[in-house]
Amino acid sequence: MDEKVKMIIEGQTHEFPVITGTENEKGIDISKLRGQTSYITLDNGFGNTGSCTSGITFLDGEKGILRYRGIPIEQIAEKSSFVEASYLLIYGELPHQDELDKFALSFTKQAPLHPDMLGFFEGYPTAGHPMALLSAMVCSLAGYYPELLKPEPSEEEVKFTSAQLLSKVRTISAYTYKTSIGESFIPPRDDLRYISNFLNMMFSTKEKEYKIDETVVSALRALLILHADHEQNCSTSTVRLVGSSWANLFASISAGVCALWGPLHGGANQKVVEMLEQIQVDGGNIQKFIDKAKDPDDHYRLMGFGHRVYKNFDPRATIIKQKAHDLFDKMGIHDPLLDIAVKLEEAVLKDDYFAERKLYPNVDFYSGLIYKAIGIPTVMFPVMFAIGRMPGWIAHWKEMRENPASKIGRPRQIYTGHTERDYVPMEGR
Ligand code: SDX
């Protein structure tokens, strides 16, 4: 029997269908609400509003569950590669060896930038934030591949565009870093795999080849996998909304990069390390920063804590924390910021303010410490998040565009401005 709910509005009873997901999540389908009642719903920040149905990622914030296409993130982070996890998210199944090889080869082929794109780096300020350049260059790929801008691209064209984005995001990011430190570009190589190629482009120089350390590759592989998708977060919802107008994939992803840049979202990993450095400079006075975050009159927040969905531990934070300790032990690194982070986490978890609000460390709390240990500058941390999130953004754009029921996103509003009034000529103001 189809489940329904009843709503009584101005004495009239209205029924609306209930939709139940494969994990028994329940949603009230209000697509006919305004037509039936002239009412709309209002939900600041969409905390109670679903924008779509999706089969890509399932997360349960209360239980700290995260699965890509049904497979627990813990297994994927331990056993898979970032390229394989990207294939799983985009195409829905783990690839056969020949499919994986073909997918990986497309990244090798698409890694180099069009020579004319190198001019972007010459004109950009070396101190400019890399997320601005990443968003601009991702969108500008549309200028170099106009054949991919059809409002209704073919499956092959989406596949080719996806390979462009998944591969070139590394090259653009590495070249942005090289520009910021005044070093020559190190081009991608055909003999290196996804992450090793990125590390080589980032850290080799014309004089000295970077020595690829498998410990570093393993830590970065886990980080990229853990960032690969997270259902309808701010940046993924942005990609879906922009794509819902039939904007091309380059433009949609570019918008996602901008949304991710915000310090409340993907920019938080940069802010976490800056916060830990502030605590260190301030003599390690953790309680001072906790009290500041608790002060109702102060907008200050402890970066890396809290989450719209996770009201328990973010399962990614648990894995990343362990990866940080493993990496530091293997590389013989002693980073005082890790000590501060561990002490801060312990103090926060004991504090009623955070416990009452169910504020736990999120994916951004420890990730920056790993990036820092690898030698990636703080300002590049959100860029690392974007490299990781690229397959998720693409998977959601593709799912939305392939769904015949998808419509252009156009929310309503409740108007709270002036009621009707007349124009007043200048002399009368
Ligand atoms: C990511 O959505 C996703 O899935 C995102 C992400 C992904 O993979 O895509 O997981 C990645 O963005 C992780 C979040 C990274 N951001 C941060 O670490 C920034 C710090 N965190 C917060 O700003 C906040 O927790 C958010 C933005 C993450 C969530 O905000 P919500 O859900 O809108 O919660 P809220 O702002 O309504 O806060 C509820 C209460 C408030 O206090 P009261 O008004 O009830 O007294 O909790 C407080 C907030 O002041 N609070 C914090 C806090 N986070 C929330 N207080 C101090 N420090 C914090 N970090």
Query: 166: which 2 tokens?
Result: 């998944």
Task: Check pLDDT > 80 for residue 307.
Answer: yes
Confidence of residue 50 (pLDDT cuts 50, 70, 90): very high
pLDDT tens, residue by residue, 12-29: 999 999 999 999 999 999
pLDDT above 70: residue 1: no
120 C-alpha to center of ligand 1: Å?
Answer: 35
- Separation between Cα atoms, residue 118 and residue 301, nearest integer Å: 39
Active site residues: 307, 364
- Give, in order, the Cα–Cα distances in Å from 53 to each of 70, 231, 259, 317, 404: 15, 10, 21, 26, 13
In tens, the pLDDT along 258-267 reads 999 999 999 9
Residue 312: pLDDT over 90: no
**What is the whole-number distance in angstroms between the Cα of residue 158 and the centre of ligand 1?**
34
Confidence of residue 207 (pLDDT cuts 50, 70, 90): very high
Ligand 1, atom 41: nearest CA belongs to which residue? 357
Residue-wise pLDDT tens digits, 100-133: 999 999 999 999 999 999 999 998 998 999 999 9
- Over residues 407-427, the pLDDT tens digits come to 999 999 999 999 999 999 999
**pLDDT tens-place string over residues 146-167:** 988 888 999 999 999 999 999 9
Q: Cβ(265) to ligand 1 under 6 A?
A: yes
Looking at the whole model, is its pTM more than 0.85? yes
> What percent of the chain shows pLDDT beyond 90?
97
Q: How far is CA 25 from CA 50, 52, 309, 319, 347, in A?
A: 11, 13, 14, 26, 34
- Determine the pLDDT at residue 2: 85
Helix (H/G/I), strand (E/B), else coil: 48: coil
Question: What pLDDT, in 10s, does the model give residues 391-408?
Answer: 999 999 999 999 999 999
Decide: 396 in ligand 1 pocket, CB within 6 A.
no
Mean pLDDT of the chain: 96
Closest-CA residue to 223 (of 406, 18, 385): 385
Number of H helices and E strands in the chain, helices first, is 18, 6
Average pLDDT over residues 329-341: 93
Residue nearest to atom 35 of ligand 1 (CA): 308
Max CA distance (Å), the chain: 79
Ligand 1 and 311: CB distance under 6 A: no
pLDDT given for residue 313 in this prediction: 87
Rounded to whole angstroms, the Cα distance separating 347 from 341 reads 10
